Structure 1
């Protein structure tokens, strides 16, 4: 099973399976470097440069978060990354972008092999991102929000000089609330629209999504980033959905009240991030479109991938420097 949802049972709203492998890679066994957390009640693995491989895919918004955070923090030399191709079958993401279709570090054709190396009877979806232990070639965790959290707090000794503070203490409480709303109403909200099992479920999802999008438009009118004048984890989490909005979610998921390009603050904000090192270079619009329009056969049975929109618009001036 891949991590992509299938069409929701008729008459029901879409619900995402969020049951992930909860092991963590931490700086000290049994504890978290995050002052909000302290002791940890799940199995922990030690931070070791070169030991782990981040299995990801540029097509996937959840994996795209981890790719961006790895870039922002400068972890490329201590955490290798393997990229799966944009399309997959019902069983697994595959490493078809690599020569011979095999990940050069893990020696796997399919990410499923890393999950089965941990549990031969692994029963859930084969998801990206996933942290894989290179010595055993087994998945450590696929808990995507925890992965980016730990890349910041637990891998700090290996961050590049001048790496951004993605979890600033002075706005932490509010940021947690913002991220929660962004996830439920926007990141997952577009899927709730696209995979609704009835007209009523779709309408409810659509209304919730656009209530949140209007809230974000207002919030970003007079501040450069979600939490003020500096980029945080909250911006990473929102950006991966915005980058896919006009190319995929507007039409494919029927989130079509208007385009992102028609919302001045959100569109300027999205371009601002896209043009920031660590963001735009992680976006591959051809892979993104291929993933959604080819894999989601229930929604797009023809498999035709749209030619547009023109990605050059992402490089146009945004004029948001004046906000801080």
Structure 2
């Protein structure tokens, strides 16, 4: 994964030498919000009103952050209202591309551009930063609304309710204070913890990441022995943010990122919970294991230089979950 510097592409990996071998994720740069009436959200400026057909989502099936947005687009009945382009699973020297020689890769359905970086420079010709997905594009204002998945899913959760009539709420007001620390722990030690483990370039950095990761999996296993979902009987955004890591864990993170003390299938409650969420209406169709496995093992030549795709375990995500 490279980056743009003043609008010019540079094929540079993250600098782990200056961080003692630690992988440090860059912050997202576009932080506007779609709202029902176009008023400003928690950050950014106003002028991004919820309208059918106005917005377009760029994703990778392989990326867990983009997967969050895909899930909410499906859960909230937005597939007919927000367009979709899917990048190629191989992310090499040019970063995410819109090549179409892989099943499921759609190309750029808006502009027919070759690279995801071209979407960034279309929004800002002098953009500096990493070129990441998801990207939420506004066709009316010809710019990126937001490229932070945690914020995109909250927009999709409520901004379009009057258009779709879908009022399912995955970020209920009465649970927000309780959701926040759960999200924080899961993000730091698990969602991002798999990357901090896998991309570590020193033993110390790896040890500092992988042990808290499994402490969190143990904590989640215990929590789910007493609750159907992370916050009790009601499913929330915390569950979907967790799911996109769990569904990838045994196929890629366990081996490729050296998170191999245990698999998700070794945790009875976590494994049943993962199956339940996978079987939720509209979710399985957002999961593309071919893109997931191919992307990780093929793209990260600093970890897998020969690009050998392993046979991998084949857990049955459609097996009965028994969780009510």
TM-score by length of 1: 0.90
| Residue deviations 1:184-234 (CA, integer Å, cap 9, x gap) | 111001111111121111111111101111110100012111111222111
Contact map agreement 1:271 1:315 (CA 8 A) in 2 = yes
Residue of structure 1 equivalent to 2:25: 16
Please show how residues 273-284 of structure 1 align to structure 2 within 5 Å. Answer: 273-284=277-288
Residue of structure 1 equivalent to 2:134: 129
Contact map agreement 1:164 1:231 (CA 8 A) in 2 = no
Q: Which of 213, 225, 228 in structure 1 is aligned with 2:229?
A: 225
Please show how residues 220-259 of structure 1 align to structure 2 within 5 Å. Answer: 220-259=224-263
Deviation at 1:138, TM superposition (A): 3.3
TM-score by length of 2: 0.90
Residue of structure 1 equivalent to 2:88: 85
1:150 is aligned to 2:155: yes
Distance 1:68 1:5, change over 3 A: farther
The 2-side partners of 1:291 and 1:160 are apart by 36
Please show how residues 139-178 of structure 1 align to structure 2 within 5 Å. Answer: 139-161=144-166, 163-178=167-182
Q: Which of 198, 202, 211 in structure 2 is aligned with 1:198?
A: 202
Q: Secondary structure at the match of 2:294?
A: helix
Contact map agreement 2:84 2:109 (CA 8 A) in 1 = no
Unaligned runs of 5+ in 2: 4-11
| Residue deviations 1:66-87 (CA, integer Å, cap 9, x gap) | 0000100001111111111211
Contact map agreement 1:73 1:160 (CA 8 A) in 2 = no
1:138 is aligned to 2:143: yes
Q: Report which stretch shifted further, 76-85 or 249-258.
A: 76-85
Residue of structure 1 equivalent to 2:57: 54
Unaligned runs of 5+ in 1: 33-39
The 1-side partners of 2:51 and 2:39 are apart by 15
Contact map agreement 1:94 1:101 (CA 8 A) in 2 = no
Distance 1:242 1:41, change over 3 A: closer
Distance 1:5 1:178, change over 3 A: farther
